[in-house]
A and B are shown apart, each in its own frame.
Chain A
Amino acid sequence: MTANHSETAPYTPVFIGARKAELDELLTRYPTKMAALLPALWIVQEERGWVSSEGMAEVADLLDLTPAYVKGVVTFYTMYHQHPVAKHFIQVCTTSPCNVCGAEDVVKALLKHTGCGELGVQSPDGKYQVIEVECLGACGFNTPLMVNEKFIESVTPDTVPELLASLG
Protein backbone atom coordinates (compact mmCIF):
# COMPACT_ATOMS: atom_id res chain seq x y z
CA MET A 1 0.00 0.00 0.00
CA THR A 2 1.36 3.43 -0.86
CA ALA A 3 1.33 6.32 1.56
CA ASN A 4 -2.09 7.54 2.51
CA HIS A 5 -3.45 10.25 0.34
CA SER A 6 -4.72 13.09 2.49
CA GLU A 7 -8.30 14.31 2.44
CA THR A 8 -7.24 17.81 1.39
CA ALA A 9 -4.73 17.10 -1.39
CA PRO A 10 -6.01 17.49 -4.96
CA TYR A 11 -7.13 14.24 -6.57
CA THR A 12 -5.17 12.77 -9.42
CA PRO A 13 -6.50 9.84 -11.46
CA VAL A 14 -5.60 6.32 -10.36
CA PHE A 15 -6.32 4.52 -13.63
CA ILE A 16 -3.42 5.51 -15.82
CA GLY A 17 -0.61 3.38 -17.24
CA ALA A 18 -0.25 -0.03 -15.61
CA ARG A 19 -3.31 0.41 -13.42
CA LYS A 20 -5.49 1.21 -16.45
CA ALA A 21 -4.10 -1.85 -18.23
CA GLU A 22 -4.90 -3.92 -15.15
CA LEU A 23 -8.50 -2.71 -15.20
CA ASP A 24 -8.79 -3.38 -18.94
CA GLU A 25 -7.63 -6.97 -18.37
CA LEU A 26 -10.12 -7.37 -15.50
CA LEU A 27 -12.95 -6.25 -17.77
CA THR A 28 -12.28 -9.20 -20.09
CA ARG A 29 -13.16 -11.60 -17.27
CA TYR A 30 -16.79 -10.60 -16.87
CA PRO A 31 -19.78 -10.15 -19.18
CA THR A 32 -20.66 -6.82 -17.51
CA LYS A 33 -18.56 -3.78 -16.61
CA MET A 34 -20.26 -3.58 -13.25
CA ALA A 35 -18.71 -6.88 -12.14
CA ALA A 36 -15.30 -5.21 -12.17
CA LEU A 37 -16.47 -2.77 -9.48
CA LEU A 38 -15.05 -4.51 -6.40
CA PRO A 39 -11.67 -5.18 -8.07
CA ALA A 40 -11.53 -1.56 -9.32
CA LEU A 41 -12.21 -0.23 -5.84
CA TRP A 42 -9.43 -2.44 -4.50
CA ILE A 43 -7.06 -0.87 -7.00
CA VAL A 44 -8.02 2.60 -5.75
CA GLN A 45 -7.44 1.56 -2.15
CA GLU A 46 -4.11 -0.10 -2.96
CA GLU A 47 -2.92 3.08 -4.65
CA ARG A 48 -4.26 5.67 -2.22
CA GLY A 49 -4.79 3.84 1.06
CA TRP A 50 -8.49 4.69 1.04
CA VAL A 51 -11.40 5.28 -1.33
CA SER A 52 -12.33 8.94 -1.64
CA SER A 53 -15.46 10.36 -3.29
CA GLU A 54 -13.26 11.38 -6.22
CA GLY A 55 -11.96 7.81 -6.44
CA MET A 56 -15.52 6.52 -6.50
CA ALA A 57 -16.39 9.00 -9.23
CA GLU A 58 -13.43 7.93 -11.33
CA VAL A 59 -14.43 4.28 -11.02
CA ALA A 60 -18.06 5.13 -11.77
CA ASP A 61 -17.06 6.91 -14.95
CA LEU A 62 -14.90 4.02 -16.17
CA LEU A 63 -17.57 1.40 -15.48
CA ASP A 64 -20.59 3.38 -16.74
CA LEU A 65 -22.10 3.60 -13.26
CA THR A 66 -23.24 6.58 -11.22
CA PRO A 67 -21.13 7.85 -8.32
CA ALA A 68 -24.16 7.33 -6.06
CA TYR A 69 -24.37 3.68 -7.05
CA VAL A 70 -20.67 3.18 -6.39
CA LYS A 71 -20.96 4.84 -3.00
CA GLY A 72 -23.86 2.53 -2.17
CA VAL A 73 -21.63 -0.45 -2.87
CA VAL A 74 -18.60 0.95 -1.04
CA THR A 75 -20.63 1.53 2.11
CA PHE A 76 -21.83 -2.07 2.16
CA TYR A 77 -18.35 -3.57 2.53
CA THR A 78 -16.30 -3.10 5.67
CA MET A 79 -12.84 -3.30 4.10
CA TYR A 80 -13.03 -0.18 1.95
CA HIS A 81 -11.83 2.83 3.95
CA GLN A 82 -13.92 5.91 3.30
CA HIS A 83 -11.40 8.06 5.17
CA PRO A 84 -7.64 7.86 5.49
CA VAL A 85 -6.57 5.43 8.20
CA ALA A 86 -3.52 5.27 10.45
CA LYS A 87 -0.21 3.89 9.16
CA HIS A 88 -0.88 0.61 10.95
CA PHE A 89 -4.56 -0.26 10.71
CA ILE A 90 -5.14 -3.14 13.12
CA GLN A 91 -8.22 -5.36 12.84
CA VAL A 92 -8.71 -7.79 15.70
CA CYS A 93 -11.08 -10.76 15.60
CA THR A 94 -13.38 -10.85 18.61
CA THR A 95 -15.94 -13.39 17.39
CA SER A 96 -16.88 -16.15 19.87
CA PRO A 97 -14.20 -18.76 19.05
CA CYS A 98 -11.49 -16.15 19.64
CA ASN A 99 -13.31 -14.59 22.54
CA VAL A 100 -13.44 -17.83 24.52
CA CYS A 101 -9.67 -17.79 24.22
CA GLY A 102 -9.20 -14.23 25.43
CA ALA A 103 -9.47 -11.94 22.37
CA GLU A 104 -10.94 -9.13 24.47
CA ASP A 105 -7.75 -9.00 26.54
CA VAL A 106 -5.72 -8.68 23.33
CA VAL A 107 -7.87 -5.71 22.32
CA LYS A 108 -7.35 -4.09 25.73
CA ALA A 109 -3.58 -4.58 25.48
CA LEU A 110 -3.56 -3.10 21.97
CA LEU A 111 -5.55 -0.04 22.99
CA LYS A 112 -3.18 0.52 25.91
CA HIS A 113 0.15 -0.02 24.15
CA THR A 114 -0.76 1.89 20.99
CA GLY A 115 -2.04 4.84 22.99
CA CYS A 116 -5.28 4.72 21.00
CA GLY A 117 -7.36 4.36 24.14
CA GLU A 118 -10.55 3.70 22.19
CA LEU A 119 -11.60 1.51 19.31
CA GLY A 120 -11.55 3.26 15.93
CA VAL A 121 -9.60 6.26 17.22
CA GLN A 122 -6.15 6.98 15.82
CA SER A 123 -3.26 7.15 18.28
CA PRO A 124 -1.96 10.69 18.94
CA ASP A 125 1.09 10.01 16.74
CA GLY A 126 -1.14 8.83 13.87
CA LYS A 127 0.63 5.49 13.75
CA TYR A 128 -2.07 3.17 15.00
CA GLN A 129 -5.78 2.54 14.77
CA VAL A 130 -7.48 -0.52 16.26
CA ILE A 131 -10.88 -1.95 15.40
CA GLU A 132 -12.73 -5.13 16.29
CA VAL A 133 -13.91 -7.25 13.37
CA GLU A 134 -16.03 -10.32 12.86
CA CYS A 135 -14.46 -13.75 12.30
CA LEU A 136 -11.18 -13.57 10.34
CA GLY A 137 -11.33 -17.29 9.59
CA ALA A 138 -8.26 -18.29 11.58
CA CYS A 139 -10.09 -19.57 14.66
CA GLY A 140 -7.56 -22.26 15.59
CA PHE A 141 -4.78 -19.74 15.95
CA ASN A 142 -6.26 -17.21 18.33
CA THR A 143 -6.06 -14.38 18.54
CA PRO A 144 -5.61 -13.48 14.86
CA LEU A 145 -5.42 -9.93 13.64
CA MET A 146 -4.61 -8.04 10.47
CA VAL A 147 -2.22 -5.10 10.21
CA ASN A 148 -3.14 -3.51 6.89
CA GLU A 149 -2.85 -6.47 4.46
CA LYS A 150 -0.71 -8.61 6.75
CA PHE A 151 -2.25 -11.50 8.68
CA ILE A 152 -0.79 -12.25 12.13
CA GLU A 153 -1.85 -15.23 14.24
CA SER A 154 -1.61 -16.36 17.86
CA VAL A 155 -1.37 -12.90 19.43
CA THR A 156 -1.64 -12.75 23.24
CA PRO A 157 -1.68 -9.71 25.54
CA ASP A 158 1.95 -10.51 26.39
CA THR A 159 3.12 -10.48 22.77
CA VAL A 160 1.42 -7.17 21.91
CA PRO A 161 4.40 -4.88 22.78
CA GLU A 162 6.76 -7.01 20.70
CA LEU A 163 4.28 -7.06 17.82
CA LEU A 164 3.93 -3.29 17.83
CA ALA A 165 7.71 -2.83 17.96
CA SER A 166 8.07 -5.06 14.90
CA LEU A 167 5.74 -2.85 12.87
CA GLY A 168 8.06 0.15 13.04
Chain B
Amino acid sequence: MGFPHTPHERETLVLSKHFGEQEAIGLDGWRKRGGYVALEKALRMEPAEIVQIVKDSGLRGRGGAGFPTGIKWSFMKPGDGKPHYLCCNADESEPGTFKDREIMRWTPHSLVEGCAIGAYAIGAEVAYIYIRGEYTEALDKMNAACREAYAAGILGTNAMGTGKTVHVYVHKGAGAYICGEETALMNSLEGRRGNPRIKPPFPAVAGLFGQPTTINNVETLVAVPHILNNGADWYKKFGRPDNPRSTGTKLFSVCGNIARPGNYEVTLGFPFKDFLYDLCGGPLKGRNFKAIIPGGISVPIQTREEAENSPMDYEGFVANGTMLGSGGVIVIDDAQNLVKHAMP
Protein backbone atom coordinates (compact mmCIF):
# COMPACT_ATOMS: atom_id res chain seq x y z
CA MET B 1 0.00 0.00 0.00
CA GLY B 2 1.06 3.54 -0.62
CA PHE B 3 1.98 4.56 2.90
CA PRO B 4 4.16 4.88 4.83
CA HIS B 5 6.87 6.64 2.96
CA THR B 6 9.96 7.70 4.87
CA PRO B 7 9.24 11.31 5.78
CA HIS B 8 11.53 13.88 4.22
CA GLU B 9 13.52 16.01 6.65
CA ARG B 10 11.82 19.14 5.35
CA GLU B 11 8.33 17.84 6.09
CA THR B 12 6.62 19.11 9.25
CA LEU B 13 4.77 16.19 10.75
CA VAL B 14 1.77 17.10 12.87
CA LEU B 15 -1.25 15.35 11.39
CA SER B 16 0.78 12.60 9.71
CA LYS B 17 3.26 12.00 12.51
CA HIS B 18 1.91 8.54 13.27
CA PHE B 19 1.13 7.37 9.74
CA GLY B 20 2.52 3.91 9.24
CA GLU B 21 2.53 2.99 12.94
CA GLN B 22 0.31 -0.06 13.27
CA GLU B 23 -0.11 0.49 17.01
CA ALA B 24 -1.49 4.02 16.54
CA ILE B 25 -4.61 2.64 14.83
CA GLY B 26 -6.07 1.18 18.04
CA LEU B 27 -7.31 3.08 21.08
CA ASP B 28 -4.56 2.05 23.51
CA GLY B 29 -1.82 2.99 21.08
CA TRP B 30 -3.55 6.24 20.26
CA ARG B 31 -3.87 7.15 23.92
CA LYS B 32 -0.15 6.49 24.41
CA ARG B 33 0.41 9.12 21.74
CA GLY B 34 -1.65 11.73 23.54
CA GLY B 35 -5.02 10.80 22.08
CA TYR B 36 -8.21 12.19 23.66
CA VAL B 37 -6.33 14.57 25.98
CA ALA B 38 -7.69 17.47 23.92
CA LEU B 39 -11.26 16.11 24.01
CA GLU B 40 -11.17 15.71 27.76
CA LYS B 41 -10.00 19.28 28.07
CA ALA B 42 -12.53 20.55 25.53
CA LEU B 43 -15.52 18.96 27.26
CA ARG B 44 -14.65 20.94 30.37
CA MET B 45 -14.42 24.23 28.47
CA GLU B 46 -17.20 26.49 27.26
CA PRO B 47 -17.96 25.84 23.57
CA ALA B 48 -17.40 29.53 22.82
CA GLU B 49 -13.87 29.31 24.19
CA ILE B 50 -13.04 26.49 21.78
CA VAL B 51 -14.48 28.44 18.87
CA GLN B 52 -12.35 31.44 19.84
CA ILE B 53 -9.13 29.40 19.99
CA VAL B 54 -9.82 27.89 16.58
CA LYS B 55 -10.56 31.39 15.23
CA ASP B 56 -7.31 32.69 16.70
CA SER B 57 -5.31 29.83 15.20
CA GLY B 58 -6.21 30.92 11.67
CA LEU B 59 -7.23 27.35 10.72
CA ARG B 60 -9.00 27.32 7.36
CA GLY B 61 -11.02 24.57 5.70
CA ARG B 62 -8.84 21.90 4.12
CA GLY B 63 -11.47 20.48 1.81
CA GLY B 64 -10.97 23.10 -0.89
CA ALA B 65 -12.73 26.35 -0.11
CA GLY B 66 -10.38 27.54 2.65
CA PHE B 67 -13.10 29.17 4.73
CA PRO B 68 -11.94 30.09 8.28
CA THR B 69 -13.07 27.24 10.50
CA GLY B 70 -13.65 29.23 13.69
CA ILE B 71 -15.84 31.71 11.84
CA LYS B 72 -17.84 28.87 10.27
CA TRP B 73 -18.38 27.41 13.74
CA SER B 74 -19.48 30.79 15.10
CA PHE B 75 -22.45 30.78 12.69
CA MET B 76 -24.00 28.06 14.86
CA LYS B 77 -26.05 29.97 17.40
CA PRO B 78 -26.04 28.51 20.90
CA GLY B 79 -29.34 28.21 22.72
CA ASP B 80 -31.60 28.40 19.67
CA GLY B 81 -33.53 25.39 20.92
CA LYS B 82 -32.79 23.36 17.78
CA PRO B 83 -30.73 20.21 17.39
CA HIS B 84 -27.39 21.02 15.77
CA TYR B 85 -25.38 18.65 13.59
CA LEU B 86 -21.79 18.26 12.55
CA CYS B 87 -21.05 16.50 9.27
CA CYS B 88 -17.53 15.43 8.53
CA ASN B 89 -16.98 15.37 4.80
CA ALA B 90 -14.92 12.23 4.21
CA ASP B 91 -16.11 11.76 0.64
CA GLU B 92 -12.74 12.88 -0.79
CA SER B 93 -13.98 12.74 -4.34
CA GLU B 94 -11.80 15.45 -5.87
CA PRO B 95 -9.48 13.64 -8.31
CA GLY B 96 -5.86 13.93 -7.25
CA THR B 97 -6.70 13.96 -3.55
CA PHE B 98 -6.06 10.99 -1.26
CA LYS B 99 -4.99 12.51 2.05
CA ASP B 100 -8.15 11.99 4.11
CA ARG B 101 -7.99 8.30 3.28
CA GLU B 102 -4.54 8.09 4.89
CA ILE B 103 -5.74 9.97 7.96
CA MET B 104 -8.60 7.51 8.40
CA ARG B 105 -6.49 4.43 7.68
CA TRP B 106 -3.65 5.23 10.05
CA THR B 107 -5.07 7.53 12.72
CA PRO B 108 -8.83 6.90 12.84
CA HIS B 109 -9.07 8.00 16.46
CA SER B 110 -7.70 11.43 15.54
CA LEU B 111 -10.82 11.92 13.45
CA VAL B 112 -13.17 10.60 16.13
CA GLU B 113 -11.58 13.08 18.54
CA GLY B 114 -11.70 15.96 16.05
CA CYS B 115 -15.38 15.26 15.33
CA ALA B 116 -16.25 15.03 19.01
CA ILE B 117 -14.57 18.36 19.77
CA GLY B 118 -16.13 20.01 16.72
CA ALA B 119 -19.59 18.74 17.63
CA TYR B 120 -19.30 19.99 21.19
CA ALA B 121 -18.00 23.37 20.03
CA ILE B 122 -21.00 23.98 17.77
CA GLY B 123 -23.59 22.73 20.24
CA ALA B 124 -24.23 19.44 18.45
CA GLU B 125 -24.76 16.12 20.17
CA VAL B 126 -24.35 14.14 16.96
CA ALA B 127 -21.61 14.10 14.34
CA TYR B 128 -21.83 12.03 11.16
CA ILE B 129 -18.73 11.04 9.22
CA TYR B 130 -19.80 10.59 5.59
CA ILE B 131 -17.22 8.30 3.97
CA ARG B 132 -17.35 7.39 0.29
CA GLY B 133 -18.37 3.79 -0.30
CA GLU B 134 -15.18 3.00 -2.20
CA TYR B 135 -13.01 3.60 0.88
CA THR B 136 -13.59 0.14 2.32
CA GLU B 137 -10.46 0.10 4.45
CA ALA B 138 -11.06 3.59 5.86
CA LEU B 139 -14.66 2.57 6.64
CA ASP B 140 -13.50 -0.50 8.55
CA LYS B 141 -10.95 1.49 10.52
CA MET B 142 -13.36 4.29 11.36
CA ASN B 143 -16.13 1.91 12.41
CA ALA B 144 -13.70 0.03 14.65
CA ALA B 145 -12.45 3.28 16.19
CA CYS B 146 -16.01 4.43 16.97
CA ARG B 147 -16.82 1.07 18.56
CA GLU B 148 -13.71 1.33 20.74
CA ALA B 149 -14.53 4.92 21.71
CA TYR B 150 -18.08 3.96 22.75
CA ALA B 151 -16.86 0.94 24.71
CA ALA B 152 -14.35 3.14 26.56
CA GLY B 153 -16.97 5.77 27.43
CA ILE B 154 -15.30 8.42 25.29
CA LEU B 155 -18.47 8.78 23.22
CA GLY B 156 -22.08 8.42 24.32
CA THR B 157 -24.40 10.11 26.77
CA ASN B 158 -21.69 10.61 29.39
CA ALA B 159 -18.69 11.40 27.21
CA MET B 160 -15.47 10.98 29.20
CA GLY B 161 -17.44 11.13 32.42
CA THR B 162 -18.50 14.74 31.88
CA GLY B 163 -22.22 14.12 31.55
CA LYS B 164 -22.14 15.62 28.06
CA THR B 165 -23.61 13.78 25.08
CA VAL B 166 -21.42 13.26 22.05
CA HIS B 167 -22.25 10.73 19.37
CA VAL B 168 -20.06 10.06 16.34
CA TYR B 169 -21.51 7.83 13.62
CA VAL B 170 -19.98 6.62 10.38
CA HIS B 171 -22.23 6.82 7.30
CA LYS B 172 -21.22 4.96 4.12
CA GLY B 173 -21.78 6.58 0.73
CA ALA B 174 -22.64 4.50 -2.30
CA GLY B 175 -20.73 5.87 -5.26
CA ALA B 176 -21.39 9.45 -6.35
CA TYR B 177 -18.71 12.06 -7.06
CA ILE B 178 -21.15 14.87 -6.35
CA CYS B 179 -21.70 13.81 -2.74
CA GLY B 180 -18.43 15.52 -1.85
CA GLU B 181 -20.34 18.76 -2.38
CA GLU B 182 -21.70 19.65 1.03
CA THR B 183 -25.38 20.12 0.23
CA ALA B 184 -25.45 16.95 -1.90
CA LEU B 185 -23.75 15.17 0.99
CA MET B 186 -26.54 16.23 3.35
CA ASN B 187 -29.21 15.02 0.93
CA SER B 188 -27.43 11.70 0.61
CA LEU B 189 -27.17 11.35 4.39
CA GLU B 190 -30.89 11.97 4.67
CA GLY B 191 -31.54 9.01 2.34
CA ARG B 192 -32.16 10.99 -0.82
CA ARG B 193 -30.59 11.17 -4.26
CA GLY B 194 -27.38 13.18 -3.91
CA ASN B 195 -28.50 16.27 -5.76
CA PRO B 196 -27.03 19.56 -4.53
CA ARG B 197 -29.34 22.07 -2.85
CA ILE B 198 -29.68 25.70 -3.74
CA LYS B 199 -28.17 28.13 -1.22
CA PRO B 200 -29.49 30.01 0.67
CA PRO B 201 -30.47 28.72 3.09
CA PHE B 202 -26.93 28.00 4.19
CA PRO B 203 -26.29 24.85 6.22
CA ALA B 204 -25.76 26.83 9.44
CA VAL B 205 -29.38 27.98 9.13
CA ALA B 206 -31.08 24.93 7.64
CA GLY B 207 -28.81 22.01 6.87
CA LEU B 208 -29.06 18.33 7.73
CA PHE B 209 -32.65 17.36 8.57
CA GLY B 210 -33.44 21.07 8.17
CA GLN B 211 -31.45 21.94 11.30
CA PRO B 212 -28.36 24.12 11.85
CA THR B 213 -25.40 22.16 10.50
CA THR B 214 -21.67 22.58 10.03
CA ILE B 215 -19.76 20.59 7.43
CA ASN B 216 -16.00 20.25 7.88
CA ASN B 217 -13.38 18.28 5.99
CA VAL B 218 -11.48 15.42 7.67
CA GLU B 219 -8.13 17.20 7.66
CA THR B 220 -9.67 20.34 9.16
CA LEU B 221 -11.16 18.43 12.09
CA VAL B 222 -8.02 16.43 12.87
CA ALA B 223 -6.05 19.67 13.21
CA VAL B 224 -8.30 20.85 16.03
CA PRO B 225 -7.02 18.57 18.85
CA HIS B 226 -3.46 19.75 18.11
CA ILE B 227 -4.56 23.37 18.29
CA LEU B 228 -6.30 22.82 21.64
CA ASN B 229 -3.28 20.97 23.05
CA ASN B 230 -0.64 23.43 21.87
CA GLY B 231 -2.47 26.73 21.54
CA ALA B 232 -3.43 29.07 18.72
CA ASP B 233 -0.04 30.81 18.76
CA TRP B 234 1.78 27.52 18.23
CA TYR B 235 -0.36 26.81 15.17
CA LYS B 236 0.04 30.29 13.76
CA LYS B 237 3.82 29.89 13.71
CA PHE B 238 3.53 27.49 10.79
CA GLY B 239 3.41 29.58 7.65
CA ARG B 240 5.17 32.34 5.76
CA PRO B 241 6.12 35.17 8.13
CA ASP B 242 4.81 37.67 5.60
CA ASN B 243 1.45 35.95 5.16
CA PRO B 244 -0.60 35.61 8.35
CA ARG B 245 -3.69 34.51 6.38
CA SER B 246 -2.43 30.98 5.78
CA THR B 247 -1.40 29.17 8.94
CA GLY B 248 -0.65 25.63 9.97
CA THR B 249 0.51 22.50 8.21
CA LYS B 250 -1.19 20.92 5.22
CA LEU B 251 -1.17 17.48 3.70
CA PHE B 252 -0.52 17.46 -0.03
CA SER B 253 -1.29 14.39 -2.11
CA VAL B 254 1.04 14.04 -5.06
CA CYS B 255 0.31 11.93 -8.13
CA GLY B 256 0.91 11.71 -11.84
CA ASN B 257 4.28 11.78 -13.60
CA ILE B 258 6.65 12.31 -10.69
CA ALA B 259 9.43 10.28 -9.07
CA ARG B 260 7.93 9.87 -5.58
CA PRO B 261 4.14 10.18 -5.42
CA GLY B 262 2.45 10.06 -2.02
CA ASN B 263 1.26 12.26 0.82
CA TYR B 264 3.52 14.96 2.23
CA GLU B 265 2.89 17.32 5.14
CA VAL B 266 4.51 20.74 4.97
CA THR B 267 3.90 24.14 6.51
CA LEU B 268 1.71 26.39 4.43
CA GLY B 269 3.84 28.70 2.30
CA PHE B 270 6.47 26.03 1.58
CA PRO B 271 8.18 26.73 -1.79
CA PHE B 272 6.43 24.59 -4.41
CA LYS B 273 9.63 24.26 -6.45
CA ASP B 274 11.51 22.69 -3.53
CA PHE B 275 8.50 20.53 -2.81
CA LEU B 276 8.35 19.12 -6.33
CA TYR B 277 12.06 18.59 -6.89
CA ASP B 278 13.43 17.98 -3.40
CA LEU B 279 10.65 16.20 -1.49
CA CYS B 280 8.95 14.45 -4.41
CA GLY B 281 12.13 13.71 -6.37
CA GLY B 282 11.37 15.74 -9.51
CA PRO B 283 10.31 14.38 -12.90
CA LEU B 284 10.71 10.80 -14.08
CA LYS B 285 14.06 10.00 -15.70
CA GLY B 286 14.56 11.73 -19.02
CA ARG B 287 11.39 13.78 -18.77
CA ASN B 288 10.37 17.29 -17.72
CA PHE B 289 7.29 18.67 -16.03
CA LYS B 290 4.88 20.19 -18.53
CA ALA B 291 1.98 21.32 -16.36
CA ILE B 292 0.80 21.01 -12.79
CA ILE B 293 -2.62 21.05 -11.16
CA PRO B 294 -1.87 21.86 -7.53
CA GLY B 295 -5.21 21.56 -5.74
CA GLY B 296 -7.33 18.76 -7.16
CA ILE B 297 -8.63 18.55 -10.69
CA SER B 298 -11.10 21.42 -10.45
CA VAL B 299 -8.47 24.15 -9.93
CA PRO B 300 -6.79 25.89 -12.89
CA ILE B 301 -3.75 24.21 -14.41
CA GLN B 302 -0.33 25.87 -14.04
CA THR B 303 2.64 25.92 -16.36
CA ARG B 304 5.86 24.61 -14.89
CA GLU B 305 7.13 28.17 -14.42
CA GLU B 306 3.99 29.31 -12.60
CA ALA B 307 4.18 26.29 -10.32
CA GLU B 308 7.85 26.84 -9.54
CA ASN B 309 7.10 30.40 -8.44
CA SER B 310 4.27 29.46 -6.10
CA PRO B 311 4.41 29.45 -2.33
CA MET B 312 2.14 26.60 -1.22
CA ASP B 313 -0.60 28.51 0.54
CA TYR B 314 -4.02 29.95 -0.21
CA GLU B 315 -2.68 33.32 -1.36
CA GLY B 316 0.48 31.99 -3.01
CA PHE B 317 -1.41 29.79 -5.43
CA VAL B 318 -3.96 32.51 -6.24
CA ALA B 319 -1.12 34.91 -7.06
CA ASN B 320 0.12 32.33 -9.55
CA GLY B 321 -3.12 31.76 -11.39
CA THR B 322 -4.65 28.87 -9.52
CA MET B 323 -5.88 27.74 -6.07
CA LEU B 324 -4.74 25.60 -3.17
CA GLY B 325 -8.00 23.65 -3.32
CA SER B 326 -7.81 20.30 -1.57
CA GLY B 327 -4.05 19.97 -1.96
CA GLY B 328 -4.19 17.26 -4.61
CA VAL B 329 -1.11 17.86 -6.77
CA ILE B 330 -1.41 16.29 -10.23
CA VAL B 331 1.80 16.37 -12.22
CA ILE B 332 1.77 16.04 -16.00
CA ASP B 333 5.02 15.65 -17.92
CA ASP B 334 6.19 16.33 -21.45
CA ALA B 335 5.39 12.80 -22.61
CA GLN B 336 1.65 13.49 -22.21
CA ASN B 337 -0.86 14.87 -24.67
CA LEU B 338 -2.74 17.47 -22.67
CA VAL B 339 -5.62 17.70 -25.13
CA LYS B 340 -6.27 13.98 -24.78
CA HIS B 341 -6.32 14.15 -20.99
CA ALA B 342 -8.44 17.29 -20.90
CA MET B 343 -11.10 15.67 -23.09
CA PRO B 344 -11.09 11.93 -22.37
Show the binding face of A for B, using Cβ within 8 Å: 29-32, 34-39, 41-42, 63, 65, 72-73, 76-80, 91, 94-97, 99-101, 133-142, 146, 149-151, 153-154
Does B13 sit at the interface, judged by CB under 8 A? Answer: no
Extra A-B contacts (7), CB below 8 Å, given A138-B2, A153-B2: A34-B191, A38-B173, A38-B191, A39-B172, A91-B134, A96-B95, A97-B256
| The residue from B137, B172, B191, B341 contacting A73, defined by CB atoms under 8 A apart | B191
Residues of B within 8 A of A37 (CB): 191
**Number of B residues contacting the other chain (C-beta, 8 Å)?**
51
Residues of B within 8 A of A94 (CB): 344
Whether the pair A135, B257 counts as a contact (CB closer than 8 A) is: no
Whether the pair A79, B175 counts as a contact (CB closer than 8 A) is: yes
Whether the pair B256, A101 counts as a contact (CB closer than 8 A) is: yes
Q: List 29 A-B contacts (CB under 8 A).
A: A29-B169, A32-B209, A35-B191, A35-B209, A38-B189, A39-B172, A63-B191, A72-B193, A76-B176, A77-B176, A79-B134, A79-B173, A79-B174, A79-B175, A96-B96, A97-B256, A99-B341, A99-B344, A100-B330, A134-B95, A137-B98, A138-B2, A139-B255, A140-B98, A140-B262, A140-B263, A141-B98, A141-B261, A142-B261
Contact with A along B85-111 (1 / 0, CB 8 A): 000000011111110010000000000
Considering only residues 297-344 of chain B, those with a C-beta below 8 Å from chain A are 297, 328, 330, 332-333, 336, 341, 344
Whether the pair A31, B83 counts as a contact (CB closer than 8 A) is: yes
A39 and B133 alpha carbons, distance in the complex (Å)? 11
Does B117 sit at the interface, judged by CB under 8 A? Answer: no
Residues of A within 8 A of B332 (CB): 100
